[in-house]
Structure 1
Amino acid sequence: MANRSFISIVTIGLLLSFIVSVPRQVESIGVCYGRQGDNLPPANEVVELYKSYGIGGIRLYDNNHDVLEALRGSNIPVIIDVLESDLTVMASDPAAASGWVNDNIQPFSPDVNFRYIAVGNELIPGSHPQDILPAMQNLQNALVSVGLQDRIKVSTSVSTNVLGNSYPPSAGTFSSNILPILQPIVAFLSANDAPLLVNVYPYFSYIGNPDSISLDYALFTSPAPVVIDGQLQYQNLFDAIIDALFSALENVGGGDVNLVVSETGWPSDGEEVATLQNAQTYLSNLINHVGQGTPKRPGIHIDTYLFALFDENLKQPQGTENHYGLFSPDKQPKYSLNL
């Protein structure tokens, strides 16, 4: 999770016994596996944790081979990120993209259930967003060359800062300054039947504008609709953000592009509303909700990855960033919720 500015209402208007079993309607709830800690268990124990709690997907922020080895035979769906440091050479040299696939995908396929390659995490806008699309194209061609293009989809993960307007959700548009970068990426996704990956944090929206956004709206606990958008009614901020993104995609010819929530979560410490109870409330309500779709797309399940598996003591800046884990580093669940 990168640093992000806050989305205001003006512009947008556990867990499993803990996770003893994932209900059928949310069978694709995944969890992001960040490793920025010096007290975390080894990869084989982590994969066993995913299996024992029935977690439906894993996001990896790098191509660590110990983790990939541990995932062999698990059938856990995988999002694997391309490191920012690899983007420029991968964008300019098709052989580098082919080498990345040959080194990190082919040796583990079909024993590892790769689903998406995320080419960059929250790099639009960023220092070199112009590298993202050519890197995606070169990776796509590399997958085609080894016959994996139908099984593994190439995308990029963006933050909700790509939205220029998101209130009301039906008026969602991408920011004009990123359109030259993002519009051809959307066209690529549409042509290759790939989703856009997006990191969605109602927590940041709330703390950025608590005078305009109610905590209930951010936590899925509002007793009544908060935003009325024509015939659509929004009772939670998560749906409003997702539908604003769908509207923005439609506005650039990407109405057939789906969304995958590649990160979402709520910290349990570090700020006034970053409490164990609020995190428990957000996570449990989210898990129960995402299988229902949104007001704009009812009944359409949104694949969702929770951030993150562990509290990571080396995450920077210190504070809330260290308290997103569903588990403590000793593998004990932080939440005690019945579904």
Structure 2
Amino acid sequence: MGPRGGRFMFYTASFGLLLQIFSPVGANSIGVCYGLNGDNLPPPTEVINLYKNCGIQYLRIYEPNTAVLDALRGSGILVAIGPKNSDLQGPRTSPGCSSRMDIPGEEAPFIASAMTNIKDALTSIGLGHVLVTTVLSQKALAASYPPSAGIFAPEIKTIMNDVATVLSSTNTPLMINVYPYFAYANDPSEISIDYVMFNSSEVVVQDRPYSYYTLFDAMVDAFNAALENINHGDVGIAVAETGWPTAGNPPFSSIEYAQTYNRGVYNHVFQYGTPRRPEVRMDTLFFAMFNEDLKPFGVERNFGFFYPNMQPVYPFW
């Protein structure tokens, strides 16, 4: 395992791209995102104790928060931090810029150079072990079915080639958001619940020579194929977010489905890679620690493992 340091994420809205800086955590680290969009959440010191009591050693927050960072001091918990898009200010290409930079959506083409400059800045202050990467949503793919058809959207193909070149040179994984829930809820007549819930005993998608029993693997391998299609199959994958809502869109959102899906992910990523990369065990972050009442009404408020009073929504940790 690499040095235990902080992770820092820098967001850009265009194409679902993020710029992220993090310390290597070693293969197969499992964590939970800590969202702060609630007016009834417990104090950060209590939250960090909850993480520790649950044995969760890796978390992600979406903006710098002094109280949270103070609570994390000495905890031994690995941390990922990302500022809001609106806070991304400052030079995007200055080699000395490591903490703030300007990457609005229309300036997404500068991500690769910003990654390089931030890496150089970190190295200059003795943090050369810290890695720099991006995070993508499924929207970054123009096609993903079957998985071998995975290709990046035309408008970001050149950008992703530059980004992947940086990732390859620094042996850094690409991070992605993986949400089978949305695919299933949008098309339940075409996607079987067993395929989504890691319960299929038969091949659901045959994409020769690869056989898929679970949609999670198919979604991940679409990104692996997209990387291969730009001649960067050497770049690894890590999961920045995955989860399932317990309410807000019945019958697709439920406690039973959330518990089954998240347990399936947890067990799967510890034991298996994907059909395309069977030997690779991915770092994975679940979304999210709490139900957050300031998020948009509906499923967005109901991805939490815990209620704001720190009682579990369902048994898991």
TM-score bucket (shorter structure):
0.7 to 0.9
Matched, 1:142 2:121: yes
- Partner residue of 1:287 out of 237, 249, 266: 266
CA contact (8 A) 1:197 1:259 kept: yes
**More relative contact order in 1 or in 2 (CA 8 Å, sep 6+)?**
1
Aligned to 2:71: 70
Contact 1:88 1:131 in 2 (8 A): no
Q: Is the 8 A contact 1:90 1:135 kept in 2?
A: no
Match of 1:222 among 183, 186, 200: 200
* CA apart distance, 1:127: 4.4
The answer to whether 1:328 aligns with 2:307 is yes
Q: Is the 8 A contact 2:246 2:303 kept in 1?
A: yes
User: What is residue 259 of structure 1 aligned with on the other side?
Assistant: 237
Q: Is the 8 A contact 1:37 1:313 kept in 2?
A: yes
1:210 maps to 188
SS of the counterpart of 1:177? helix
Identity value in percent: 45
Q: TM-score, normalised by structure 2?
A: 0.86
1:317-338 per-residue CA deviation (whole Å, 9 max, x = no partner) reads x111000001110111111258
Deviation digits for residues 127-160 of structure 1 (CA, Å, limit 9, x no counterpart): 442343333222112101112122x211121101
Equivalent residues in 2 for 1:268-283, closer than 5 Å: 268-272=246-250, 273-283=252-262
CA distance in 2 between counterparts of 1:90 and 1:81 reads 17
Find the residue that maps to 1:164 and give its secondary structure: strand
Alpha-carbon displacement from aligned partner over 1:224-256 (angstroms, at most 9, x marks no partner): 110011132111100001111111111212212
2:140: which partner in 1?
162
Amino acid at match of 1:132: I
Name structure 2 gaps, 5 residues minimum: 1-10, 16-26
Give distance in 2, aligned partners of 1:50 and 1:246.
Answer: 31
Change (3 A) 1:50 1:266: same
1:221 and 1:99, CA in 2 relative to 1: closer, same or farther beyond 3 A?
A: closer
Retained in 2: the 8 A contact 1:87–1:135? Answer: no
Q: Which residue number in structure 1 is paired with residue 56 of structure 2?
A: 55
CA contact 1:90–1:138 (8 Å) conserved in 2: no
Structure-1 residue corresponding to 2:6: none
Q: 1:310, 1:324 within 8 Å by CA — same for their partners in 2?
A: yes
Number of aligned residue pairs: 295
- What is the alpha-carbon distance in structure 2 between the residues aligned to residue 196 and residue 79 of structure 1? 15
Kindly indicate whether the alpha-carbon contact (under 8 Å) linking 2:13 and 2:85 is maintained by their aligned counterparts in 1: no
The whole-number CA distance in structure 1 between the counterparts of 2:178 and 2:241 is: 6
TM-score w.r.t. structure 1 length?
0.80
Unaligned runs of 5+ in 1: 6-25, 102-118
Shift of 1:257: 1.1
RMSD of aligned Cα (Å): 2.6
